[in-house]
Amino acid sequence: MRPWSSIPIVENHELLVALPAVLLRLEPHPYASLGAPYGPDHDPFRLRSGVVDRLVQAQRRLAEQDPTLRFAIFDAWRPIAVQAFMVEHTIATLCAEQGISRDDPSQQSAVQAVIQDVARFWAAPSRDASTPPPHSTGAAVDLTLASLDGDRPLDMGGAIDAIGAISEPDYYASASTASERLFHQRRLLLLKVMESVGFQQHPNEWWHFSHGDQLWAWRSGSPSAIYAEAPIKSVTA
């Protein structure tokens, strides 16, 4: 259970809509490229209509702060089947990198440690309507900053989806080198413009922001969330 799991959801029934062309998509989509089961015509670059509006507003605020920058969208809507696929993929990848066999009884404590590490970043693919994964609601977006000159993503001091402390928003808050201070400044800029239009940041991920889901409600003090799992039938062009 997450700190926000008990917050009630009062669904407002906004549709999922495609991100407008003004928002840069990082393609090919990373999870689709791995074979994640989106299904036909289930474009991951979609969010609830109100979230899209706020995201466009945030990009305008970013341009006011630094006209050489724009957003680069890494991931947006994520069906629960994709969430399940990616959780399993991440666990398997980390076990392989660490030389851990999930079938070896003597390594089960190491396997559990990996699963716990992954759970700090990847929400469980819950089918319980009261605890949907944030991305399945169409309320959450993973994004970074990019240069308008060639649409190149900036170095933020850690890759999106990296498992570990380096992904925490304030990881570089006490940095001593110029490059690390720059990473912190960039993360702060992203936070500032997203918060200015009502988004809330995941406590463990510098790249993850949401508006309207349970995580947002928990961080903003709202008594309820406004988005449950987005039904496939709500997808519109």
What's the confidence (pLDDT) of residue 188? 98
59 domain residue, yes or no: yes
Q: How far apart are CA 41 and CA 34, in angstroms?
A: 17
204 domain residue, yes or no: yes
Looking only at the bridges linking them, the beta strands covering 69-75 and 24-25 are parallel
Residues 190-214 have pLDDT tens digits of 999 999 999 999 999 999 999 999 9
* Residue 204 domain boundaries: 16-234
2 domain residue, yes or no: no
50 domain residue, yes or no: yes
148 domain residue, yes or no: yes
What's the confidence (pLDDT) of residue 236? 52
What is the chain's Cα-based Rg? 18
DSSP the chain: --TTTTS-B----PPEEEPPTTSEE-SS-HHHHTT----TT--SSEEEHHHHHHHHHHHHHHHHH-TTEEEEEEE----HHHHHHHHHHHHHHHHHHTT--TT-GGGHHHHHHHHHHHHTTS------TTS--GGGGT-EEEEEEEETTTTEEPP-SS-TT--SGGGSTTTTTT--SHHHHHHHHHHHHHHHHHHTTT-EE-TT-TTEEESSSHHHHHHHT-SSBS--PPPGGGB--
Q: What is the mean pLDDT of residues 145-154?
A: 93
Cβ 233 vs Cβ 41: under 8 Å? no
21 domain residue, yes or no: yes
* pLDDT(168) > 90: yes
Both structure tokens of 37: 């089961």
Residues 18-73 have pLDDT tens digits of 999 999 999 999 999 999 999 876 789 999 999 999 999 999 999 999 999 999 99
CATH code where residue 97 lies? 3.30.1380
7 domain residue, yes or no: no
Residues 62-103 have pLDDT tens digits of 999 999 999 999 999 999 999 999 999 999 999 999 999 998
pLDDT band at 234 (very low <50, low <70, confident <90, very high): low
**Global confidence as pTM:** 0.94
8 domain residue, yes or no: no
Q: Which of the following is catalytic: 27, 88, 205, 229?
A: 205
205 an active-site residue?
yes
- Percent of the chain with pLDDT strictly greater than 90: 91
Number of domains in the chain: 1
Q: In the beta sheet, which residues pair with residue 48?
A: 16
What's the confidence (pLDDT) of residue 39? 85
